[in-house]
Structure 1
Amino acid sequence: MQYTTLHDIKRVITSFENSINKANNKANANNKANNTSNASKDLLVSDSTCRGLYLYLRQNKQGISKAFIFKYKSSNRIYKLTIGQYPHISLDKARDITTQYNSILQSLEYKEKGLSLKDYLQYMQDKDKNTKLTFKHVFTEWIEKQSIRETTKKQYMDQSKPLLKVFGNKLIQDITKNDIVEFLQGYQVRGKIAICYQLYRMLRRVFDYCIAYDYIEYSVCDRIKYKIIFKLPIVKHHKAIHEKDLKDFVIYSNKALFNDVDI
C-alpha cells in the first residue's frame, strides 16, 4: 500500500480506523473484548514519491498513533528512525527531512564515520553546538571542574586575565597557532619569561580539556614547539645537602641541645 497525496493519507487513516472499530465491535458482540485478531493493530504505508518515507499507524491505549518514519538499509540491516507525529509534522516537512536523510546516507563524511544515522545526527548536533563555544565559556567550565580549593580557583582566574582579555570572546576552534604565538611573543620581548610559560601551560590544559569533551578535534598547542620557539624560565638550583653533612649536622645539633652549645 502506498500514498501520494495528503488526501491519500486521510483515506488510509480512515480505512485503518474503520477496520479496528469493526473488529472491536465484532469482538464485543461475541463477548471477547480482548480479541481483535481479525484486524491488524498496526500498518506501514510507503510514500510513492520519497524513498524511505513511511506513514506508520498503530493502535494503542490512547487511540491510534500516526507517525512518519524513515526506513533505510545499512550493512544488511534495516533501521527505522521516527521523523515525527502526524499531523504535527506535515507531509511536505516529512518529505524534506527524508530527502536530507537520503543525502546524508550518500555523503562521504557519513560513510567515513561508520555511525548509524541516529548517532550521526546526534554527532552533527553536538558539533554544531560546539561551534558556538567561546574560549571564556570553556575556560570557566574547566576551572569549575577542577578539584581545587576556591582560593586556588580565584588565583587561576586572576592569572588568566590576560588570556581572557585576548581570547575570551573568540570561538575555541577559531584560535590559531599564530594567535597564540603572537600573544606569547609579547611577553618574551618584555622579558616576562616565567609568566609567558605559565600562560602557555594554562592554554594547553584548556585545549586538552576541550579535546577530552569533544569540543574540538585537535589542539593547536600541539603544533607549538615551545622549547624551540621561546625561551624557557631559568630553573634555580639550590645547593644540595649531602647525606654526610646532614648526619654531622644532626649529631652536632643534639650535642648542642644537651650541652647548651651555640650552633
Structure 2
Amino acid sequence: MAKRFTDSKIQSLKPTNKRAILFEDGGRGFGIRIEPSGRKSFFLEYRFGKGKERRNRVLTIGKYPRVSLTKARSIASQSLAHVEQDVDPATQKQTLIIANRDALSVADLVAEYIEKWAKVKKKERSWKEDERLLKKDIIPAIGRKKAKDIRRRDIVLLLDEIVERGAAITANRVLAVTRKMFNFAVGRDIIDASPCVQIPAPSKENRRERNLSEDEIIVFWDKLRDAKMSEEIRLALKFLLITAQRKSEVTDSEWKEFDLEDKWWT
C-alpha cells in the first residue's frame, strides 16, 4: 500500500523485472508505473460512461520527472473534474494530440503566406523579397515549430540575433514581413493572436531622399574602374547600384541564395 506520493518516495522506487504499479494512498485513481527499464510515468485510472457503457479507462499523464509530481497531481484532479462533467479526459487528450499534429509549422505558414497572400497582393519583386527574408531568417530559426506555439519572446530573440550580426535594418524588414505573415495567420484562423504585437522596430531608420541622377550614376560607374580598391569591393559596389539592395543584404548574402541559371537572387 502506497501512501501519498512525494518526490523522495518516487525517486527511491527501484525497477524490477516486471512493471510495477502503485496508487496514491493505496486506492485506485492517481498512480505511477515503474517499468523494468527504470522509466516512471504517472497515470490516472477512472470509470467513464453510463449504465452498461461504463468502463474502466486509463489516462497516461506523463513521464517523471519531465512531468513533476505537482503538475501530474493537478492534471489528475482536472481530469476527474472533466469526468464529472461527462467529458472523457483520455479522448480529450487524443483530440488535442491530433490537433497539434495537424497544426501548421512556421515553415508551412511561410509557404501559405507567400502563395495565398504575397503573390496575390504584391508585385513580383516585393513578394520575392518577402520570401527571401523569411527563408533566410525565419525558417532556419523557428521553421519547425508550430505556428500556434510561437511567442513574442521567440521573435524578439530572433531579431536580436540579426541585429548582433550587424544587420539592424534587415531586422526591421524581417519584423515587418513576419508581423504581416502572422496577421495573415490570424485572419485565416491558423492562430488566435499574433506574437508580433507590441514589438518595436529593432533599429531607427534614417530616411534617404537623395537619389543619384543618371549623369552621377555614369560618373560613379566610370570612376570605379580606376579606384584604389580590391576587385571584390568594386564588384560589390556595382552590385549594390544595380540591385538597389541594402549594404547588409549584399554583404550577408550567400551563394546558395543565387540561382545563376534563372538569374534570380532569392
TM-score, normalising length from structure 1?
A: 0.40
The structure that has the greater radius of gyration is 1
